[in-house]
Structure 1
Amino acid sequence: MAKKQLSVGLDRTLSFLSDVRQINNHADLTAAVKRATAMFGVEKILAGFIPKPGTLPSEQLRHVLLSDWPEDWATIYFQRGLLFQDPTIRRVLRMQPTFAWSELRSQPDLGKSESFVMDSARDFSLQSGCTVPLLSLDGRHVGFSFAGSHIDDSPEAKGVMTLIASFAFGRAVELRNNELRAMVRLTARERDTLSWIAAGKTDWEIGVIFGISEKAVAKHVYNIRMKLGAVNRAHAVAEAFRLRLIS
C-alpha cells in the first residue's frame, strides 16, 4: 500500500512539475500543490518568507506567498506574533532538512511558548505537518509547510514534498514579481535614471547626461524609491533588478 501511495504521489509530482509553468495565479498554484500532495494527507499549506523579529502583523502577511491556512488561526497567529514563537520557524532559520512537526516535541530545547503554539494549532485541525526550509536567491529564509490531521512523514513522502515545495516556491515568487511589476509604473526617465544609478553614476553625473539639474535628478530618485518601497538608492536598484524593470 505504501509503495502504491508513493507511486501515485510521484505521478502527481511529475504532472505538477510539467504543469507548474502554466499556472498563472496563486490560488491555482495552491490548489495544484494540494492535489499533488493529497496522497500524503496534506489538507492545508502555508509558504512564505520569514520576517525579522518585531515585524508588524500587516507586514508579516505581505511575506506570505501561498496559503489556505484556517482563517481564524491565521488571524491569531499573526496578530499575536506567534510566528516569532513558532518552533518550526526556528528550525527553518537553521536551514535543517525537511522535518516533521512531530520531531519538534522531542527536542530538549522546546520552550513553553513554542509548545503553546503547537498545541494551539491543533485546535484548528493542524495536528500533523511537515515543513520544508528553503532559501531564496537573495538569501532570504523561506518556510513551506504542509499540514493535515495526519501527514505521511516517511522519508519518501518528505522527499516528494521537498521537490514540490521547491518548484512551487519558485513559481510563486515569479507570480509575486509579475504582480509587483504590473503595479510599479516607472516613467522612461525614471528607468533611465535607475540604469545610470546601477552603472555607478552620481546625481550630478546623471544630471549632466540628461541636461537637467542635480536637484531634478534627486527628485526622480525620490520618486523611484517611493514607487519601489526602497530605503536607499542601492535598495532601489536591487528591487528594480528583482522585478526586471531594468536589465
Structure 2
Amino acid sequence: MIEFIDGCREITDEAGLREMLREMTKALGFNQYALLHHVDLARPPAHAITLMGYEDGWMEQILQNRYFQDDPILTASHRRLTGFSWREVPNIIRLNRRHRRILHQARAHGLRDGFTVPVPPLAGEYRGTCSFASDRPVEITSDLIGSAQLIATFCFEVARRITNQDAVSAPRMPQLTQRQLDCIVLVGTGKTSWEIGKIIGLSEDTIDDHLSNAMRKCDVSRRIQLVVRALFEGQASYWDMLRMS
C-alpha cells in the first residue's frame, strides 16, 4: 500500500487516475469500478467526479433509463459510513421493484458482486462513492475491506485535486459573523425576524439588519438563498438547525 499511496501523489491527470483504479480494482479481485459524485450523470455539473469503468452497454442503460437517480447501491451508501458488500444491500434498504430491475439488468453486464465505499462530502460537495464490481462472487475479507477503504479514500482525493485544479480561484462565500450565522440558522428553522429577536434578545429591526448585511455580503436577494449558501459552504449545518428548532 505504500507504493499505492506514493503513486497517488504522482498522478496529475485523469488518465493516470484511471490506470491506478484499474490496477487496484484488479488487485482487490474485481474487474470494474466506479468513482463518482452522486449527480445527474447525463448532465454532470462542472467539477463533478464521474470516473466509470463499467461496460459501455451498461453505461448506455444507466444514462438512457436514468438509473443513477435511484440506484440501490448509491441509495444504500447514504445509510452507511463505511464500505459494504452488495450482498448487504437488502439489509440496508428496502428494495422496490425498480431497485430489483436495476440489479437484475446489471448482472447481465458483469456486475454480479461488488463492494462500495461511501465518501463523505466536503463542505459544498456532492455525496460520493467508490465501487468495485465483479462478474463472480468475491470473498469479502477484513483485509479487502481495509484495502478498499484506503484505495477509495486516496483515489477520491486525487480525483478532487485533478477536477478542481481550475476551480481553486472560484469565489467563495464571505466569512459571516457569528451573530449573522445565528440568524441564518434560525431562518432555516422557519423563524421570523420577530421570533429570532425574541430568542436572541435583539430587536426585530436589528435582526433584519443582520440578515440584510449577510445577504449583501453573499450577493443573494432572498433569505432562503442565504440559508442554502451557508449550508453548501459549511458555515452552518443541519445539526445546528435541528438543535435550534
Are residue 84 (structure 1) and residue 72 (structure 2) matched?
Answer: no
Contact 2:110 2:135 in 1 (8 A): yes
* 1:167 paired to 2:154: yes
**Contact 1:95/1:134 (<8 A) preserved:** no
Structure 1: gaps (5+ residues): 1-12, 185-193, 201-220, 222-230, 240-247
- Residue-by-residue CA offset, 1:151-188 (whole Å, 9 max, x unaligned): 34222201100111001100100000015569x8xxxx
TM-score after normalising by structure 2: 0.64
More helix, by proportion: 1
Secondary structure at 1:59's aligned position in 2?
coil
Counterparts of 1:59 and 1:65, CA distance in 2? 8
CA distance in 2, matches of 1:181, 1:16: 26
1:149 aligns with 2:125: no
Partner of residue 109 from structure 1, selected from 94, 117, 141: 94
The answer on whether the counterparts of 1:16 and 1:33 sit within 8 Å (CA) in structure 2 is: no
Residue of structure 2 in register with 1:124 after alignment: 109
Question: TM-score, structure 1 length as denominator?
Answer: 0.63
Q: Percent identity?
A: 21
Among candidates 140, 148, 167, match of residue 126 of structure 2: 140
SS in 2 for 1:58: coil
Root mean square deviation of aligned Cα: 3.4
- Extract structure 1 runs of 4+ deviating beyond 4 A: 105-108, 179-182
After superposition, the C-alpha distances for 1:32-74 in whole angstroms (9 at most, x for unaligned) are 12213423222111111113xxx57223797443222112211
Aligned residues: 186
Structure 2: runs of 5+ lacking an equivalent: 177-218, 220-224, 234-245
Which residue of structure 1 aligns with residue 165 of structure 2? 178
CA separation of 1:56 and 1:152: change in aligned 2, threshold 3 A: closer
Specify whether residues 177 and 81 from structure 1 end up closer, same or farther in structure 2 by C-alpha distance, changes over 3 A only: same
- Name the residue aligned to 1:14: 2
Contact 2:117 2:129 in 1 (8 A): yes
Tell me, in whole angstroms, the C-alpha distance in 1 between the residues paired with 2:93 and 2:67: 20
Measured against aligned partners, the alpha-carbon deviations of 1:75-95 in whole angstroms (never above 9, x if no partner) come to 211231111221111111123
1:218-237 equivalences under 5 Å are none
- Of 41, 44, 56, which residue of structure 2 is paired with 1:71? 56
